[in-house]
Structure 1
Amino acid sequence: MNKVIETILNHRSLRQFEDKPLTDEQIKTIVSCAQAASTSSFIQAYTIIGIKDIEKKRKLSEIAGNQEHAAKNGHLLIFCADLYRHTIIGEQEQKDVTVSVESTEKFMVAMIDAALAAQNAALAAESMGLGICYIGGIRNNLEEVKKLLKTPERVIPLFGIAVDYPTYITGQKQRLPFEHVYHVDEYQQDAETYLRQLKDYDEVISSYYNERTGGKRKDRWTEQIAAMLERQSRMDMKGFVQKNKLDLQ
């Protein structure tokens, strides 16, 4: 097993940091690795906003549900789906790109491009001995995030990544069984097998929580996810996306 695979398989979300600013060289390396990710048709439909300002970090932390690691970190990267530059490109080249830019397909491309870039950034940071944590909570109030970051139309802040030197390494949550995620040739739909795999995984996750919390928590994964999905959250997202002139077709 090589070091790249070891780094990937050792991933865990870390939230306790030294609060030590990253160097400009470290930031450039991480962002350059993000840019090295695959991008659909070379469209490069994303932008990364690095947050150094302490007050902006604090405000983003509040929006994200007062997550302390969003405020106290070595650097906070905000990944945005970005089709604004492509509108400018259309104007520069005197081409009508509006229909394409406002299509669901290009909306998905921008989401995927940003996610691929972010995972490259996360892997790069972890390979440098840094810890990371994704912060999707910024989507709790995208109108405020948009004002804070001054993003133009056709740009959507998707999530943040807090990066820093960790002070505490948590245990690692085991993922779903390989056979449950990886299907050969077609989607396997045997209900009995499917439910058995989920039941087995429930036992693994319940044991993990029980051990980690000293018996204070032992909920099952399916119980946790069903409760989360039952609570409707961020239901204004479609309106925000359309207001910013994305995914209108």
Structure 2
Amino acid sequence: MNDVISLLRSHRSIRKFKEQLLTDEQIKMIVSSAQAASTSSFIQAYSIIGIKDKAKKRMLAELVGNQSYVEHNGHFFVFCADLYRHEVIGDREGKNVLTSIESTEKFMVGLIDASLAAQNAAVAAESMGLGICYIGGIRNNLDEVKKVLKTPERVIPLFGLAVGYPDQTPDVKPRLPIEHIYHEDEYQQNRDVYEKQLDEYDALVSGYYEERTGGKRKDLWTEQMALMLERQTRMYMKEFIQKNKLDLH
């Protein structure tokens, strides 16, 4: 196993950081690494907003659900799907690009491009001895988040990335068995095998929580997922995206 694979497999989310800010050079290194990610047809349909202002960090921390590590970290990045620049390009070049920009396909390109860039950023940060935590709570209240970030139409904040010097060392959470995730040649649909794999993973996750909490928790992963998915959250998303002139066709 080489160093890169070892780094990838040792990932854990960090939710407590030391009070030490990243340097501008570190920030630039992380962003340039993000930019090196693959991008569909060279579209580069994303933007990254770095938050240094303490008041804005505090506002975002409240908007995502009072998560302290959004306010207290080395640096906070927000990754956005961005097709605004492509509208500008259409104007500059005198081409009708709006139907394409407003399509579901191009919106998906923005989501994928931003996600690939973010993962590059995360790996770069961890390779520098830093810790990271993705923040999906950015989507809890996007109207207010857009006001804080002053994003124009066709720009959707997708998630945050808190980066900093770790002040904790949580255990690595066990992932689903590779046989459950990786299919060869076609999707394997034997329901008995499928559920057996879920049973085995439930036992693994339950043991992880029991050991981590000294017996206070024995959660099953399938129970967690069922309860989480039973709660309907962020159901305004389609309306919000279309209001911002994306995913219309």
**TM-score category of the 2 structures, normalised to the smaller one:** over 0.9
Aligned to 1:78: 78
Gaps of 5+ in 2: none
Cα distance in 2 for residues equivalent to 1:124 and 1:6: 14
Give the equivalent residue in structure 2 for 1:61.
61
TM-score normalized by the length of structure 2: 0.99
Match of 1:247 in 2: 247
- The answer as to 2:16 corresponding to 1:33 is no
Residues matched between the structures, number: 249
Provide Cα deviations, 1:125-155, integer angstroms capped at 9, x if missing partner: 0000000000010110000000000000000
Distance in 2 of aligned mates of 1:90 and 1:120: 29
One-letter identity of the residue aligned with 1:151: T
C-alpha distance in structure 1 between counterparts of 2:248 and 2:222, whole Å = 34
Q: Who is 1:206 aligned against?
A: 206
The 5 A counterparts of 1:56-205 are 56-205=56-205
1:107-129 Cα shifts (integer Å, max 9, x gaps): 00000000000000000000000
Structure-2 separation of matches of 1:163 and 1:247: 31
Distance 1:58 1:184 in 2: 46
Give 1:16 shift: 0.9
Q: Secondary structure at the match of 1:160?
A: strand
Amino acid paired to 1:45: A
- Name the amino acid aligned to 1:212: R
Alignment partners' CA distance in 2, 1:3 and 1:15: 24
- Following TM superposition, the consecutive aligned residue runs of length 4 or more in structure 1 with deviations greater than 3 angstroms are none
Residue 217 of structure 1 deviates from its aligned partner by 1.1
Q: What is the DSSP-based 3-state SS (H/G/I as helix, E as strand, rest coil) of the residue aligned with 1:216?
A: coil
Letter in structure 1 aligned against 2:178? F
Give, in whole Å, the separation in 1 of the partners of 2:143 and 2:217. 35
- 3-state SS of the aligned residue for 1:78? strand
Q: Distance between the aligned counterparts of 1:207 and 1:86, measured in 2? A: 49
Asked if 1:10 corresponds to 2:10, the answer is yes
Query: Residue 44 of structure 2 aligns to a residue in which SS?
Result: coil
Question: Secondary structure in 1 aligned to 2:206?
Answer: helix
Which SS does the other structure have where 1:108 is aligned?
helix
Q: Per the alignment, in what secondary structure is the counterpart of residue 29 of structure 1?
A: helix
Kindly report the root-mean-square deviation, in angstroms, between the aligned alpha carbons of the 2 structures. Answer: 0.5
Q: CA deviation at 1:19?
A: 2.2
Distance in 2 of aligned mates of 1:34 and 1:187: 31
| Structure 2 Cα separation of the partners of residues 65 and 217 of structure 1 | 23
- Per the normalisation by structure 1, the TM-score is 0.99
Q: Tell me, in whole angstroms, the C-alpha distance in 1 between the residues paired with 2:196 and 2:65.
A: 35
Percent identical among aligned pairs is: 69
Letter aligned with residue 74 of structure 2: G
Report the residue type matching 2:148 in the other structure: L
* SS class of match (1:246): coil
Give per-residue Cα distances to partners, 1:186-240, cap 9 Å, x unaligned: 0000000000000000000011111111111111000000000000000000111
